[in-house]
């Protein structure tokens, strides 16, 4: 059974909001699937699940799954189910991430582990993983099941790599890009590939979707890492400097270390700051000054723009359409978050 898709588009919306408007009825179906499949007779499990599922996320990954299906053909019930599976996977990883990172806020609200404790939060994440794979078994495609298994494995590997790289000055650019490929880009890739697969897209179309998703995801994460040093807390939805205080060595610090090497007497102090167990606000303020002094942020934004341009080029395989335009605009929107 095909699910009809309205072609009406509001021109006053940013591209992400426009996608949400375009697929509003489908996202309602996705949310229904999430709520129904998060049910358990153990009442605390759906309570914690609902806390994060309903915490105001933009649903960007399921929206991209739906957009990919529409580009390649039609959105049917299977595509909607796959969009829900993508969000299940994302939500389960968020519950685990917040425990590992000891994050206090998620989307501006208290994280689940601050309200129910680490054990409950981790076990709820495991519960959502189980529900996800139950849905996938019911869906019946070994290829799609295998895609989710591989995606989950890569996300976990990315998290382990990131933990291993905490509070060290020996993180290379190669290490960093491997981490964000596994932590962020891979789920974007899977989200769009799934939409293309269930809509029976051509080999070239699916390759284009994966390339678009990879480059969008890399650009998205680069800007996220910039925002950790430049955003305001209200706009970011979590405390500014959150990654810094957790000991994450992201590209801003990597580039800063490169530029200070051999030319600054403050390099040793920066290295000592990075390996400190407890960094404080004064440390963050000082690093922010250095990032400005050495023009680090414009360099990373330029790199993010290069990824965004590659994402736009990847859509050449599709005929011109309003939906294609929105996806192209989304690459600019991702970059402009740090303006």
Q: Residue 6 domain-assigned? A: no
How far, CA to CA in Å, does 317 sit from each of 212, 218, 306? Answer: 11, 21, 19
pLDDT of amino acid 54: 81
Identify whether 154 is part of a domain. Answer: yes
Q: What is the pLDDT of residue 237?
A: 58
Q: How far apart are CA 191 and CA 207, in angstroms?
A: 13
Burial category of 282 from C-beta neighbours within 10 Å (exposed 0-12, middle 13-18, buried 19 and up): exposed
Listed range (143-152, 189-198, 271-280) with the worst mean pLDDT: 271-280
pLDDT for the residue numbered 1? 35
Please say if the pLDDT value at position 5 is more than 60. Answer: no
pLDDT at 337 over 70: yes
Report, as an integer, the average pLDDT of 61-72: 97
Q: Would the pLDDT of 235 be above 70? A: no
Answer whether residue 4 is part of any domain. Answer: no
- Helix 44-53, helix 118-139: angle, nearest 10: 80
Beta strands in the chain (DSSP E): 105-106, 109-110
Q: Residue 201's domain spans which residues? A: 15-336
Categorise residue 33: left if φ over 0, alpha if ψ from -120 to 50, beta otherwise: alpha
Given a cut of 90, whether residue 78 has pLDDT beyond it is yes
Chain segment 281-314, per-residue pLDDT in tens: 999 999 999 999 999 999 999 999 999 999 999 9
Average pLDDT in the 326-336 region?
A: 95
Residue 7 placed within a domain: no
d(CA 87, CA 219): 20
The pLDDT, as a whole number, for residue 2 is 37
- 62/87 Cα distance (integer angstroms): 6
- Does the residue 160 lie in any domain? yes
Residue 3: pLDDT over 60: no
5 within a domain of the structure (yes/no): no
Say how many domains are in the chain: 1
pLDDT range class, residue 232, cuts 50, 70, 90 = confident
Q: Is residue 268 part of a domain?
A: yes
pLDDT value of residue 108: 73
Residue 244 lies in a domain: yes
CATH at 224: 1.10.600.10
Closest by Cα among 312, 310, 314 to 328 = 312
Mean pLDDT is lowest, of 54-63, 76-85, 294-303, 312-321, for 54-63
Average pLDDT of the segment spanning 49-73: 90
């Amino acid at each position: 059974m095909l699910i009809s898709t309205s072609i009406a588009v509001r021109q006053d919306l940013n591209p992400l909001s426009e996608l949400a408007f375009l697929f509003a009825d489908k996202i309602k179906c996705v949310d229904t699937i999430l709520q129904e499949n998060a049910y358990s007779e153990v009442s605390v499990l759906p309570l914690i699940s609902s806390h994060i599922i309903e915490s105001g996320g933009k649903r960007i990954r399921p929206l991209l799954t739906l957009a990919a299906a529409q580009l390649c053909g039609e959105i049917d019930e299977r595509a909607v189910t796959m969009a829900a599976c993508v969000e299940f996977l994302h939500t389960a990883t968020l519950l685990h991430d917040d425990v590992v990172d000891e994050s206090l806020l998620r989307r501006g609200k208290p994280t689940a582990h601050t309200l129910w404790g680490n054990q409950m939060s981790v076990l709820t994440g495991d519960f959502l993983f189980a529900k996800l794979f139950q849905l996938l078994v019911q869906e019946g495609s070994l290829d799609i099941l295998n895609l989710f298994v591989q995606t989950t494995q890569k996300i976990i590997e990315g998290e382990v790599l990131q933990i291993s790289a905490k509070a060290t000055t020996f993180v290379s650019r190669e290490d960093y890009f491997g981490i964000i490929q596994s932590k962020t880009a891979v789920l974007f890739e899977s989200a769009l590939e799934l939409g293309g697969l269930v809509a029976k897209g051509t080999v070239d179309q699916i390759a284009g979707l994966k390339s678009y998703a990879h480059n969008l995801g890399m650009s998205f994460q680069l800007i996220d890492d910039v925002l950790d040093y430049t955003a305001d807390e209200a706009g970011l939805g979590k405390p500014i400097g959150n990654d810094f205080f957790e000991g994450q060595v992201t590209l801003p610090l990597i580039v800063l270390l490169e530029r200070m090497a051999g030319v600054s007497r403050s390099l040793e102090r920066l290295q000592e700051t990075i390996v400190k167990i407890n960094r404080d606000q004064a440390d963050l303020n000082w690093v922010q000054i250095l990032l400005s002094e050495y023009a680090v942020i414009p360099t990373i934004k330029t790199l993010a723009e290069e990824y965004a341009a590659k994402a736009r080029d990847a859509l050449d395989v599709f005929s011109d359409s309003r939906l294609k335009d929105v996806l192209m605009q989304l690459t600019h929107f991702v970059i402009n978050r740090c303006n």
